[in-house]
Amino acid sequence: MNKVKKLLLGLTIACGIGSTVKAQSIPPFHAGDRVAFVGNSITDGGHYHAYIWLYYMTHFPNMRITCYNVGIGGDNVKQMSDRFEAEVLPIKPTVMTLTWGMNDSGYFEWFKADAKTNYAKWSVDSAEARYNVFDAKLKQHSEFKKIFILGSPYDSTTTSNKNRFYPGKYAAFARLIDFQQATAKTNSWPYVDFNHPMTAINREWQKTDTNFSLTPYDRIHPDYAGHLVMAYLFLKAQGLAGKPVADFAVNAKTKAVSKSVNCTISNVSGSEGNISFDYLANSLPYAFDTVEFKGPWGQHGKQIEGIKYVPFMQDFDKEMLTVKGLKSGDYKLSMDGQEIGEWSSKDLEAGINLAEQTYTPEYQQALAIMQMNEERFEIERRLRNYAYVEFDLLKQKNLLYADNKAAMDSVNKESKKNPFIGGNRDNYIKAQYKAVRDGWQKEQDALVDEIYTVNKPVKHKVTLQLVD
């Protein structure tokens, strides 16, 4: 399939998926919110919560919130419940999201002789029973809102990975997703569905490419594009689609400003062939990561590839500049003296999306925020790796947060036979000291403070010059 056909297919599917998401099914965040994202490895090593926070950092620069990664790789819902008091309550959240079920629906158990009969029923029934214990705990805490996330899917249909197919897992996970949805409705708790829209994207793209998947490396963990899709679905469910970065229109002939949504346009001067004005937006564009990354669970790829699968730009990243009354011809657009590009008078009259231009001063400002948020994420990951060792190993040995010789001895012993503990051993050697953990937290806090200092939009001089 050539690139043009792929692009058209992507736009068609993206718009279709975007239209199926409810306009609003979960509440948007508010100033001062402390949001705990509780989950398994898809939350632990994933990016969807960082991408959601980046949207708030750039689109609502004066509305500070705080997001926390409270995921641990390998967790089932019982383990999430068991660490609720130690990990969630100390954060004092105003909002808690919960996603579970991937690990509860089993893996190698599906190869047992009785899997289709005994395990198929037991896996779901036991998971529901384990959740009900957690449900009782959650109902005791009315001080924070609960949001269910119907988790990203197990992809049973992709041909990208033939070694991670577990017969029966898809059906069991689907039953748990239905249970979560029903529970949310029973409790009158809002929920956002990642599972069905992402499955729909997989199935549509697999019609032309059987290797396609939003979880291409192990059928389980979304790649970076997949996490952008998840962020899109979350923000869409919060009712935030259609809120532009800015949308403004100027008439070069009359010097009139006919539209200024979420921005201020002033000091319009010049002529139909050379016009300038001052532009101050209330938001910044959303900056995409275009670098190839490799994640902790084998996922890699580029975040920006996600815009092929959902209409993120259309819904969340429109910074529209429209100029009418220009002389016919091509125009050079400059901002603060930096040339951005050339467009025809017809293009400018129809409107161009400045958020697509990565060298505007406001996009560069947003890129700096994105890089700081990624640095914050990497530091936070050290603390999550420490939490994994604490809850996956040391809690069972009655050494939770002991941080002593017995704990270190247990880590050393287990690391020789358990590759997951072994992979986190070096991090634990550092993190066992509270002073180190406190230092990492201070680094994160300093980065967030800096983000909310430099994320304020500034005024820019826009010039349109007729090209001879």
DSSP string covering 420-435: HHHHHHHHHHHHTSHH
**Which residue segment(s) compose the domain that 18 sits in?**
3-237
Averaged pLDDT for residues 150-171:
93
Whether residues 150 and 96 share a domain: the answer is yes
- Span 227-254, average pLDDT: 97
Residues 157 and 103 in one domain: yes
The model's pLDDT over 184-194, given as tens digits with 9 standing for 90+, comes to 999 999 999 99
Q: Picking from 1-5, 211-215, 223-227, 382-386, which range would have the lowest pLDDT averaged per residue?
A: 1-5
Q: What is the per-residue pLDDT for 23?
A: 46
Residue 161 has pLDDT above 90, yes or no: no
Q: Is residue 425 part of a domain?
A: yes
260 with 401, same domain: the answer is no
Shared domain for 215 and 283, answered yes or no, is no
User: Which pairing describes strands 460-466 and 330-335: parallel, antiparallel, or unpaired?
Assistant: antiparallel
For residue 296, what are its two tokens?
A: 């902790």
Domain check: are 372 and 342 in the same one?
A: no
Same domain, 182 and 193: yes
399 and 348 within one domain = no
- For residue 303, being part of any structural domain is answered with no
Residue 260, CA distances (Å) to 50, 245, 249, 287 in order: 30, 11, 7, 22
Q: Give the pLDDT confidence of 109-131 residue by residue, as tens digits.
A: 999 998 888 998 999 999 999 99
Q: Cα–Cα distance between 433 and 114 in angstroms, integer?
A: 47
For residue 80, being part of any structural domain is answered with yes
CB-based contact 64:378 (threshold 8 Å):
no
Confidence (pLDDT) at 289: 87
Model confidence, pTM: 0.94
pLDDT of residue 17: 59
Residue 87 has pLDDT above 90, yes or no: yes
Answer yes or no: is 432 within a domain: yes
Query: What pLDDT score was predicted for residue 192?
Result: 97
Asked, for residue 304, whether it belongs to a domain, the answer is no
* Residue 12, pLDDT score: 57
Q: Are residues 8 and 146 in the same domain?
A: yes
Same domain, 354 and 289: yes
The tens digit of pLDDT for each residue in 18-31 reads 555 554 589 999 99
Considering the domain architecture, whether residues 188 and 337 belong to the same structural domain is answered as no
The predicted model gives 149-169 an average pLDDT of 93
Of 384, 369, 375, residue with least CA distance to 443: 375
Assess whether pLDDT exceeds 50 at residue 1. Answer: no
Measured on CA atoms in the order 442, 444, 447, 448, is the torsion positive or negative?
negative
Average pLDDT, the chain: 93
Q: State the total domains in the chain.
A: 3
Task: For residue 21, give every residue at least 6 positions away whose Cβ sits within 8 Å of its Cβ, in sequence order, or none.
Answer: 193, 197, 233, 236, 237
Residues above pLDDT 70, as percent of the chain: 93
Mark whether 154 and 265 lie in a shared domain: no
